[in-house]
Structure 1
Amino acid sequence: MFHADARALARASLLVDGREPEPIGYAPAGPGADRFVSVVRWLGDPIPDPTVRVDRLRRVVPGGMSEEIVVSSTADVPVRATVTLEVACDLAPMEVVKSGGSVPPVSPADALTWIAHGTTVRVTGDGTASGSGLLWDVDLPTRGSATLRWQVRVDDTRAAVAAPSGPIEWSRPEVTADDHRLVRLLDRSLDDLATLRLAEQGDTFLAAGVPWYLTLFGRDSIWAARMLLPLGTGLAAGTLRVLARRQGRRVDAHTGEEPGKIMHELRRDEFTSLPPAYYGTVDATPLWVSLLHDAWRWGMPADEVAALLPALEAALDWLGGHADFLRYVDTTGRGLANQGWKDSGDAVRFRDGRRAEPPIALAEVQGYAYQAAVQGAALLDAFGRPGGDRWREYADALAERFRAAYWVDGPHGRTRHWRSTAAGARSTRSPATSGTCSAPGC
């Protein structure tokens, strides 16, 4: 189990008479819940079909996890067994676990309690505490069952984000379809989104993923909120406010912070050499502008939009600070080499396999910038603030530069690279001699 970039529980092994039951099934059981089924072949009636099974219902709850274990028997004879839960804690940093490394276990402060790095992990249950876990003596009558329960609680004074306390911010649609797989897909998708909810200062946003990216990510959190706008604007409003509070104020090469820039990710400590608050993203800022615009069009209250207009103007000024295209380069050698949605170090290549060298101007990012300028101008006009004409002129000039520069060589000669990436760019043809570009990094 992971919590705030650390592995709170490194092991939780359920044993029956010192042996692990045989797993036979798994199924999701709603938001943050899963069900596991196993059988205990060595207990019960001596027949090929097992007569003793173990059902485990595990739920993630704010600040921890709970599990209910049901041991049931269909045997014709009474069943007696000793059930043990062996647990261990190492509070290994997420990046160590992700890379396959290990750290020494944390010594317990007392029975089933571990304390290290400002984090306290405590395991409790209705069994008897032993040196390494919990123990239950189970006596089942013929066709009987027993329910066992245990919990783990994590108290962390240094967590960067927290679990939300309010209800889900979007409405839940109901779909009826002849193909029931579609209904199940929608239900599971909405359940998964609910489990990604996190909060900061009372505002909710969606984390980027479980377990490595269960935190605030500018690009990912913005896109998720934008796609959920048809179901409500509450998530978008929370996401916008969280990111606006951490909008760049100064120039800092180490963190990538710049005035007006929207951050990339937030951690409690350094993560894979990145600082806890890291701004190494080229696309989160224009995407933030577009989310604010789209949320306004979908009905976000005007006073909430107005409160974010200073952040909008700062974000637009950041766009305007780029001379021709939005480019990125990590000047420290410790940040992300690539800072678009494909941000692995080897993600941006030429056709022959060579890596593009920074500074790199991604095609889709120029589309984001164009759209942000146009939509930002619309917001400024609607709320009676100056600058709309400036950003429409910026968008027009960017579109012209893009059409002149972005070409790729293909089997039919040089063709435009921007066909599906420059959002809103006009379709006027430019002559092939007006500019060439064989990769986004040229």
Structure 2
Amino acid sequence: MAEAKEPLLRPKPSPPSTASSRLPRPSSAAAIGGGAQTQRPLFQGMDVLGLKKRGGSIRSWIRVDAATGASQVIEVDKFTMMRRCDLPARDLRLLDPLFVYPSAILGRERAIVVNLEQIRCIITADEVLLLNSLDSYVLQYAIELQRRLTASSSDPSNPDYLPFEFRALELALEAACTFLDAQAAELEVEAYPLLDELTSKISTLNLERVRRLKSRLVALTRRVQKVRDEIEQLMDDDGDMAEMYLTEKKRRMETSFFGDQSLVGYSSTGNAGVSVSAPVSPVSSPPESRTLEKAFSLSRSRHESVKSSDNTTERIEELEMLLEAYFVVIDSTLNKLTSLKEYIDDTEDFINIKLDNVRNQLIQFELLLTTATFVVAIFGVVAGIFGMNFEIPLFAQPDAFQWVLVITGLCGLFLFSFFVWFFKYKRLMPL
């Protein structure tokens, strides 16, 4: 693992300098802020500690270049990152490791903001800015992205070739889905034996373990459901998917820029043959070069709009298929958790039924015990009657005591049998 971290965490060597050697090194900030910041230090004359207290703290990022796949660790503040990626502050707040935000995938004009479990990054058409962390999943993401970029650069004619932002997004989805699926599998391995043990032996310890297990299951299900909802929301909105195709928008912008430059050059050469001293009427028609420029601009706009719509539809289909593949994966993970929750609910129902059965047996035993107590109380009544201080001829008989016991016992047995038959007749004692 140390060998894997080495190329990511190696600091970028700074070029030798003479006059600016006493100033703070702006190499990391300039790598993100642009070439204009290389002329002077970014934080010269600024209170960095005060800046951190005001919310503009400097954070460490792993930058992966789209063209070469090279990575470097840079440190920039929030405002520089906002200018670089053209993002509002609320989007960067989703990536703040100090707060726990639900998973989100946001498509913006020049970037895609990804917050999927441990993977928190900003994807542009030229680079991936990954929030630096000691988590192994973050380092694995950067290393795997480098490997895929190196492999794809050697074979750009591959029919499965995707734009850079889609490959970075695909890897983020793959990392998040793999992480959640691994947690779901670990929960399954722990849950099923515990639930089986609980059905055979109901104890306070097992019930407490199942309670903690169910809490973890609910939290994991909520996270998986959020990722699934984000993917489904993107698939249902063609506009959001079209907004996420950054390479196509960058290419159209560059084409439009160079096209405007060529038209300006053509206009300047076309006006070269017109006499400067010729009078111009304020109500005359525009020059021929300006008319050609407008015609070329209109035709180019129509051509680019048609071509853009075709490419957008095609790319939306590619992105939709990509999202659909990981939607199936995360939906399978959600089904695992749903099945586990149903198994827990079935186990709880079985335990409740078992406890109800025991409770019913106790009630039946209590009913029989109450009936027997009532029958035994008859002997007490008879003893109380014959224990009174009065004389009757029955006391003079020698076997009178035995006959009283026999007759009282038979009456009590008959009465107890009658109550038992009555309870069964009324189905108060089905067992």
TM-score (norm 2): 0.24
Higher strand share: 1
Give the helix-richer structure, 1 or 2.
2
Q: TM-score, normalised by structure 1?
A: 0.24
Higher relative contact order (CA 8 A, sep 6+): 2
